[in-house]
Structure 1
Amino acid sequence: MLNRYGSMRVETQPGSLSRGAELCSPMPTDSLLEDVVQWPRTVQSANSRSMNMATKADLEAFVSSVTCPDDFDDFWSSTLAGLAELPLEPAVTPDPLRSNDDVKVYQATYRSLDGLDIFGWYSVPAVGDGPFPAILVLPGYKSEPALRRDWGRKGVAVLSVAVRGKLPSSSGFNPGYPGLLTSGIESRETYGYRGVISDCSRGLDFLLSRPEIDPERIYASGSSQGGGLTLITAGLRPEIKGGVSGYPFLCCFPESMRMLRSYPYDELSCYSRAHPDRTGQMLETLRYFDAVNFAPRIKCPMVVGIALEDEVCPPETSYIAYDRLGGERELWLFPESGHGNAHDYPRQESAWLEQRIAASQPQAVAS
């Protein structure tokens, strides 16, 4: 029978494989990848979506080979220092068509790595002068950034970031989907996600530059790629006071490559098959961008939501990120749910953020 990821469990004859062994098709890549990856399960093909639900025991038993490079902090400190020297040039243009009685909507832009101008939907409560709490909403892999006007009536501002490659932030960088996961992967300096992560960090700088925003009450959220970017941004920027990471992508790259036969992760496998001599360098580059290596650096409260039938971001890999969090943490498990479709997740995300934002409200000073 097929295991949860489509590998075949077979009954064997005496003298062959041990009874009940899993027959997993090896990924035809450089032997280095085979040495790095210890998890025995591979994942279904893109055409077969039959899976068995993961259990909490599966998550707790999972072991990742991902380790943090010795110069990880130096690399990212240098990247952030370079960004700090680049003028932010924040700008907002009112969008009356999308505004209403609850929220004023603006088209926002700011400058990021390599001089790219990044776009975002900036929504501010229409009632009151602030300072307002804010949420930095980070985007999924293929989806365009959402316009989150729902927070306006709750007195919360939102910047929904369109990182490079997304409209209309794609004029200077547009590798496509697939394409993003391997763009510039030959070096940590040229890897496309260095720019994407920079765009998220600069989004926080945009919020910090706004006089109507309370700098002590900024939170982050996102799902899938946005979930991974939420973890990464919170790990880089202590100004983030809390976050919700749903179905996080960008976790445990080596294991995800072995466990999945579907995109986006399969882009890495295809690259490895096409360039077997570059597999070692690819894996080394990815260590600097794996959300798991940012998790211990997160000191703010963080939620990780995991769908136990996730066929895009294996739940075991998301759990590793949760398990390595360095601060207050909360785990949401969604049985019988696949990637991005846990019915209760949006409600729980909003409720958690509302509760944290309300608890952070400055107390009035008695006269």
Structure 2
Amino acid sequence: MARFDLPLDELRAYRSESTEPEDFDAFWDKTLQEAREHELDARFEPVETGLSAVEVYDVTFAGFGGHPVKGWLRLPAGTTEPLPLVVEFLGYGGGRGLPHENLLWSATGRAHFLMDTRGQGSGWGAGGDTADPVGAAPAYPGYMTRGLDAPENYYYRRVFTDAVRAVEAARSHPLTDATRTVAIGGSQGGGISIATGALVPDLVAIAPDVPFLCDFPRAMTLTDRPPYREIALFLKTHRGRSEEVRRTLSYFDGVHFAARGRAPALFSAALEDETCPPSTVFAAFNAWAHEHKAIEVYDFNDHEGGGPFQEALKLRWLRSYV
């Protein structure tokens, strides 16, 4: 697919038309307050992996509603002092996989916490282990339309709350340094990291790659590729519910979280990305509130974005923060 979105000079000036709810902050304050009424109950169980350079812990903590959420904590072997902490969130449909996977960040000498995404883990990779026990009104297959009838019921209310609790759980381990915590992720994980960057006030940096869940009004009409297409197909059947759906999504739009961004940020976008169109990524980047921000643009790439090239850039960039 050749380029289909705005030219790069227009992308750099683009602003979303997504309308922020007046009670956006109150909604999220209440959501997190309710989540914290449940004990975090973070448990770290050592896992035998056969690895000699990395120690892995099977983590369980209480997320939204007190529901158990899984994760992996990976530490360089022999760690005795608290380490900088990288909290990572996963792309759409993936799960935390197996304990010996995803060793890049622990290989840098940092602690690495990978959150499982509730209800997901069967679309790619080696699977997930976290259920989503909450039911929903009629929805299109996938996750994008679960609970679209009201912000209180929407699926990503649970996921974003899990993400905040994941940071709290990872920070509770004695070998992680809470004062040097960053959030990263690609695609859905990028969108989650943007929300986390707004909801957790003291992260030192975030790095969302080709982030999903941004600028819903444009995304749901610009691309016919899933997952955004799930919303359009839901509305194709449920005629006349567009305003209701847009209202629900406005509480979860990365653009509004970005306006509350409190840490330096490194974004990435790909100009041929039909899954997360570049204008939706730039909508969040341009709204990001912290003055120290940068975006890496990959001219001829689709949703794979920069891949290992972006990883190399993040490795260099994060040295300034952790």
Normalising by structure 2, report the TM-score.
0.90
Q: C-alpha separation between the residues in 2 aligned to 1:228 and 1:325?
A: 13
1:211 CA displacement = 1.4
Give the aligned length: 308
2:76 is the counterpart of 1:114: no
Work out the CA distance in 2 between the residues paired with 1:163 and 1:109. Answer: 12
| Structure 1: tracts of 5 or more residues without a match | 1-48, 358-367
SS at match of 1:180: coil
| Aligned twin of 2:10 | 58
Corresponding position of 1:13: none
Q: What's the counterpart of residue 316 of structure 2?
A: 351
> In the alignment, residue 101 of structure 1 is paired with which amino acid?
S
**3-state SS, counterpart of residue 118 of structure 1:** strand
Q: State the alpha-carbon separation in 1 of the partners of residues 212 and 108 from structure 2.
A: 29
Give distance in 1, aligned partners of 2:135 and 2:149. Answer: 17
The alpha carbon displacement at 1:152 in A equals 2.5
Q: CA separation of 1:336/1:322 partners in 2, compared to 1, >3 Å: closer, same or farther?
A: same
Q: Aligned-pair distance for 1:242?
A: 0.4
1:316: how far off? 0.7
- 1:81 maps to which residue? 33
In the alignment, the residues of structure 2 paired with residue 207 and residue 256 of structure 1 have an alpha-carbon distance, to the nearest angstrom, of 33
Counterpart CA distance in 1 for 2:156 and 2:278 is 22
1:104-125 deviation per Cα after TM superposition (whole angstroms, max 9, x unaligned): 0011110111231101111012
> What amino acid sits opposite 1:56 in the alignment?
L
Identify which of 245, 251, 267 aligns with 2:230. 267
Question: Corresponding residue for 1:235?
Answer: 198
The answer (yes or no) to whether the contact 1:243–1:302 under 8 Å persists in 2 is yes
Correspondence list, 1:35-74, <5 A: 49-52=1-4, 55-74=7-26
Equivalent in the alignment of 2:217:
254
- Look up the match of 2:124: none
Measure, in 1, the Cα distance between the counterparts of 2:28 and 2:89.
Answer: 19
Tell me how far 1:164 sits from its aligned partner.
0.8
Contact 1:54 1:309 in 2 (8 A): no
Distance 1:181 1:64, change over 3 A: same
Structure 1 length normalisation: TM-score? 0.80
Q: Distance in 1 between matches of 2:81 and 2:6?
A: 45
Offset from partner CA, 1:118-152 (integer Å, 9 cap, x none): 01111012123121111110111112236432322
* Residue aligning to 2:300: 336
* Residue 244 of structure 1: how far off its partner (Å): 0.5
Q: 1:179 Cα deviation (Å)?
A: 2.3
Whether the aligned pair in 1 keeps the contact of 2:186 and 2:211 (CA below 8 Å) is yes
Cα RMSD (Å) of the superposition? Answer: 1.9
Q: CA deviation at 1:355?
A: 3.6
Answering whether residue 131 of structure 2 is matched by residue 179 of structure 1, we say no
Q: 1:38 maps to which residue? A: none
**Rg (Cα) greater in structure:** 1
Compare 54-63 and 232-241 and name the one that shifted more: 54-63
Identity of aligned residues (%): 31
Matched position secondary structure for 2:129: coil
Q: Shift in Å at residue 80 of structure 1?
A: 1.0
